[in-house]
């Protein structure tokens, strides 16, 4: 969930203090996500729009409440900046005769630009001296420009779920009911969604329902506060958190401030007030996850725990209002929660009448995805993938057995009554029921972790990571095989999320495996479409790895250079990218890059054949040949680093890989001087065919040593030097 949008500067300080701009879009109650998204879009788009309109401001901020999206700009200058247009005309020698008088060329140019010929300016350029026409168009009043700009900003806001209302054609997150547009004390006469802007806003729907005039933009926040509206989401966040802590503390507990629920609550209230409610002790016999899910996801309450972390039979609710009638509000919320918890207890007790393993057969009646069969089919595929992963990762037989058992039971909780009522608990309840059934702890933990990662939370157990990887790999491979690849921004089956999860798990756990072997083992790379599926599978994971490495701060060209050398083993590819990025910070990188670049550029298509020592007559040729032989011994060692199938599963991990690749790049720096001498002392394209091919073979040897680590042709360079990171 996106956090609050921060202030976005207009990035141009005003030459003198200007007026304040307030633009408020008043709506019916917005969904919390729409409130966050709308404010974020205003913060991003408004500075660009103002700059494009040549309106100077000091700062732009955006806010949101459940009933409004607000843009505020400080020190808005009264007029646009003047528009200065400069057009180059003919050369001075053409524009003026020997006596300095304007020629017909100068007069025609001036006339075409709408300036007197006497206003033409002479300027010296790298191409010579030319005449220029300079036209200055005075800026319009900011208020006039804003009449068009503000409605365009509102119309440019987009929401995943938008609606139309009445007879209008405008689509917005919720119906627009009022607009405020003030520049200082002046109303900006504009209209959006059939609503004319004015200076009347609305306060809290219950505590101050009447319209409130805003005399000037500078008093806007104060007017809202007097009307029981806290405009700044961060102020509401602090008030909610402080009030919830205080309320829980009054009963000797501490509130569980779930971040997502706090974000949601901030956009559900304009004047928050916290209260404590209670429920019967008997409900504490339910699993903690059931209690918290009912409270947080369904009733929007914060759970309360004691100093040891055990749940108390209490909750903290947040009301959009004041303390009047709070006892009745508390009583009503307690009654609703009591009913929900009673339902949860009934479902839990009913589920416990059957073992989890006995439910697996029932998965044949539950569809997974259109064209991908049932959950029973998916379970069979997961069991097969468990065996494939066990083989590729060289798991011990006991570990392999645990993984297969977890795969067999992984989806059984989908047909339990608790999960049908509380879908957020899929996997979680499976883990709970597996543990209560006496299944091994590793199996129960893996079932619980199979849907991770969620946000930054990744599986914490080995078996959980393997099962989560298998689950996402099956979803992605099966969907690609069925022709369900995401298109553009459309990804209805969450395949990009699955790909991101696969990459995150593999990198976090340092799993050395071949993506191609995993796909083949799953059977997705078989059949007439096998090649397409394999290509799309590897491409999807490579794209996610690329994005993750760039997010780490590695430059895009460094990442591309490493991935173009191979990305079938994600851990290996990431290690090469990180090693190359570190190596680029050293002076030795320029030598390696230059040696590779000079060699690669001159090589024709096709292999030139092996090097013949008897044709290496020149000292520079012999020196380069010896350097290649010295490096090739090391090359055999680092080439094995990138093979996850070699050995018995003890292939180097990510950190060790990066260290060894960095060392390999440093050793390759020894090629720089022999390559430079080679190009200086010999003619590569010798007229003699044999000599020419032998010299090309020497250069091909240089490229062959570097390219398995990175294709340096993808590295961006400038002015003949390799680009170094800033």
Tens of pLDDT, residue by residue over 355-392, are 999 999 999 999 998 888 999 999 999 999 999 999 99
Which residues are bridge partners to 122 per DSSP? 131
pLDDT band at 26 (very low <50, low <70, confident <90, very high): very high
CATH number given to 356-551: 1.10.3210
Task: Judge contact between 575 and 665, C-beta under 8 A.
Answer: no
Strands 176-183 and 19-27: antiparallel
Task: Write down the pLDDT at residue 98.
Answer: 87
Task: Write down the pLDDT at residue 644.
Answer: 63
Which residues are bridge partners to 212 per DSSP? 201
User: Three-class SS of residue 437?
Assistant: coil
Question: What would the two tokens of residue 478 be?
Answer: 């099966």
Closest to 596 (Cα-Cα) out of 680, 709, 675, 658:
675
Average pLDDT, the chain: 90
Mean pLDDT of 560-579: 94
pLDDT, tens digit, for every residue of 318-363?
999 999 999 999 999 999 999 999 999 999 999 999 999 999 999 9
- List the beta strands (DSSP E) in 279-370: 302-305, 311-320
Min mean pLDDT across 207-221, 333-347, 619-633, 656-670 is at: 619-633
Asked if the model's pLDDT at residue 287 lies above 50, the reply is yes
Asked if the model's pLDDT at residue 722 lies above 60, the reply is no
Mean pLDDT of 388-414: 96
Task: Write down the pLDDT at residue 15.
Answer: 45
pLDDT band at 14 (very low <50, low <70, confident <90, very high): very low
pLDDT band at 11 (very low <50, low <70, confident <90, very high): very low
Task: Write down the pLDDT at residue 79.
Answer: 93
**pTM of the entire predicted model:** 0.80
Task: Write down the pLDDT at residue 12.
Answer: 43
Share of the chain above pLDDT 70, in %: 93
Task: Write down the pLDDT at residue 392.
Answer: 95
Burial of 636 (0-12, 13-18, 19+ CB in 10 A): exposed
Task: Judge contact between 75 and 58, C-beta under 8 A.
Answer: yes
Where do runs of H (alpha helix) occur along 554-618?
556-564, 570-583, 588-602
Mean pLDDT of 558-562: 95
Asked if the model's pLDDT at residue 602 lies above 50, the reply is yes
Asked if the model's pLDDT at residue 403 lies above 50, the reply is yes
Closest to 696 (Cα-Cα) out of 712, 682, 717, 714:
682
Task: Judge contact between 170 and 177, C-beta under 8 A.
Answer: no
Alpha-carbon gap, residue 394 to 399, rounded angstroms: 10
pLDDT, tens digit, for every residue of 450-486?
999 988 899 999 999 999 999 999 999 999 999 898 8
- On the CB side of 266, CA atoms within 13 Å amount to 28
Residues 6+ apart with CB under 8 A from 456: none
Task: Write down the pLDDT at residue 491.
Answer: 84
pLDDT band at 638 (very low <50, low <70, confident <90, very high): low
Min mean pLDDT across 119-128, 331-340, 379-388, 539-548 is at: 119-128
Closest to 689 (Cα-Cα) out of 629, 612, 601:
612
609 φψ region: left (φ > 0), alpha (ψ -120 to 50), beta (else) = left
More confidently predicted of 373 and 488: 373
Asked if the model's pLDDT at residue 46 lies above 90, the reply is yes
pLDDT band at 639 (very low <50, low <70, confident <90, very high): low
Task: Write down the pLDDT at residue 3.
Answer: 42
pLDDT, tens digit, for every residue of 223-274?
999 999 999 999 999 999 999 999 999 999 999 999 999 999 999 999 999 9
């Amino acid at each position: 969930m996106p956090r609050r949008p921060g202030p976005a500067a207009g990035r141009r300080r005003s030459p003198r203090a200007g007026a304040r701009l307030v633009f408020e879009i008043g709506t019916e109650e917005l969904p919390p996500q729409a409130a966050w998204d709308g404010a974020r879009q205003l913060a991003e788009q408004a500075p660009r729009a103002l700059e494009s309109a040549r309106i100077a401001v000091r700062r732009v901020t955006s806010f949101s409440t459940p009933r409004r999206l607000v843009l505020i700009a400080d020190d808005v200058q009264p007029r646009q900046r003047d528009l200065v247009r400069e057009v180059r005309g003919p050369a001075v020698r053409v524009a003026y005769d020997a006596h300095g008088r304007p020629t017909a060329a100068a007069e025609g140019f001036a006339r075409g630009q709408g300036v007197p010929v006497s206003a033409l300016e002479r300027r010296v350029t790298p191409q010579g001296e030319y005449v220029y026409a300079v036209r200055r168009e005075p800026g319009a009043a900011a208020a006039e420009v804003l009449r068009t700009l503000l409605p365009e900003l509102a119309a440019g806001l987009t929401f995943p779920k938008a609606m139309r209302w009445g007879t209008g054609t405008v689509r917005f997150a919720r119906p627009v009911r009022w607009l405020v547009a003030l520049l200082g004390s002046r109303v900006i006469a504009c209209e959006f969604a059939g609503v004319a802007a004015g200076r009347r806003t609305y306060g809290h729907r219950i505590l101050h329902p009447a319209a409130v005039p805003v005399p000037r933009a500078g008093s806007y926040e104060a007017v809202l506060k007097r009307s029981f509206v806290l405009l700044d989401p961060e102020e509401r966040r602090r008030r909610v958190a402080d009030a919830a802590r205080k309320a829980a503390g009054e009963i000797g507990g501490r509130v569980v401030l779930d971040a997502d629920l706090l974000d949601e609550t901030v956009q559900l209230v304009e004047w928050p007030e916290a209260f404590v409610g209670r429920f019967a002790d008997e409900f504490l016999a339910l699993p903690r996850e059931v209690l918290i899910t009912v409270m947080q996801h369904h009733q929007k309450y914060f759970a309360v725990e004691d100093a040891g972390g055990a749940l108390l039979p209490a909750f903290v609710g947040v009301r959009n209002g004041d303390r009047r009638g709070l006892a009745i509000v508390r009583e009503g919320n307690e009654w609703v929660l009591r009913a929900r918890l009673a339902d949860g207890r009934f479902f839990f007790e009913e589920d416990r009448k059957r073992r989890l393993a006995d439910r697996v057969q029932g998965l044949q009646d539950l569809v997974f995805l259109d064209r991908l069969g049932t959950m029973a089919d998916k379970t069979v595929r997961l069991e097969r993938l468990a065996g494939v992963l066990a083989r590729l990762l060289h798991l011990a037989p006991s570990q392999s057995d645990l993984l297969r058992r977890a795969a067999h039971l992984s989806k059984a909780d989908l047909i339990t009554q608790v999960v049908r009522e509380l879908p957020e608990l899929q996997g979680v309840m499976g883990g709970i029921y597996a543990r209560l059934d006496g299944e091994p702890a590793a199996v129960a933990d893996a079932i619980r972790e199979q849907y991770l990662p969620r946000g930054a939370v990744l599986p914490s157990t080995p078996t959980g990571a393997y099962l989560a990887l298998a689950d996402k790999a099956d979803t992605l491979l099966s969907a690609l095989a069925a022709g369900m690849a995401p298109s553009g921004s459309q990804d209805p089956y969450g395949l990009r999320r699955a790909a991101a999860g696969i990459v995150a798990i593999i990198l976090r756990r340092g799993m050395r495996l071949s993506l191609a072997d995993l796909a083949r083992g799953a059977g997705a790379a078989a059949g007439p479409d096998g090649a397409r599926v394999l290509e799309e599978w590897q491409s999807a994971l490579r794209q996610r790895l690329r994005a993750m490495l760039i997010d780490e701060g590695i430059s895009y060209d460094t990442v591309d250079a490493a991935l173009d050398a191979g990305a079938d083993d994600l851990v290996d590819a990431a290690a090469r990218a990180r090693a190359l990025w570190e190596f680029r910070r050293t002076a030795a990188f320029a030598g390696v890059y230059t040696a590779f670049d000079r060699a690669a550029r001159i090589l024709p298509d096709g292999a030139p054949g092996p090097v013949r020592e008897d044709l290496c007559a020149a000292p520079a040729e012999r020196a380069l040949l010896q350097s290649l032989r010295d490096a090739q011994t090391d090359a055999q060692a680092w080439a094995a680093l990138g093979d996850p199938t070699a050995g018995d599963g003890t292939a180097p991990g990510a950190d060790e890989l990066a260290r060894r690749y960095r060392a390999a790049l440093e050793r390759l720096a020894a090629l720089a001087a022999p390559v430079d001498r080679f190009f200086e002392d010999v003619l590569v394209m010798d007229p003699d065919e044999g000599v020419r091919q032998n010299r090309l073979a020497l250069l091909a040897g240089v490229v062959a040593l570097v390219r398995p680590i990175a294709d340096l042709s993808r590295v961006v360079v400038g002015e003949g030097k390799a680009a170094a990171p800033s």
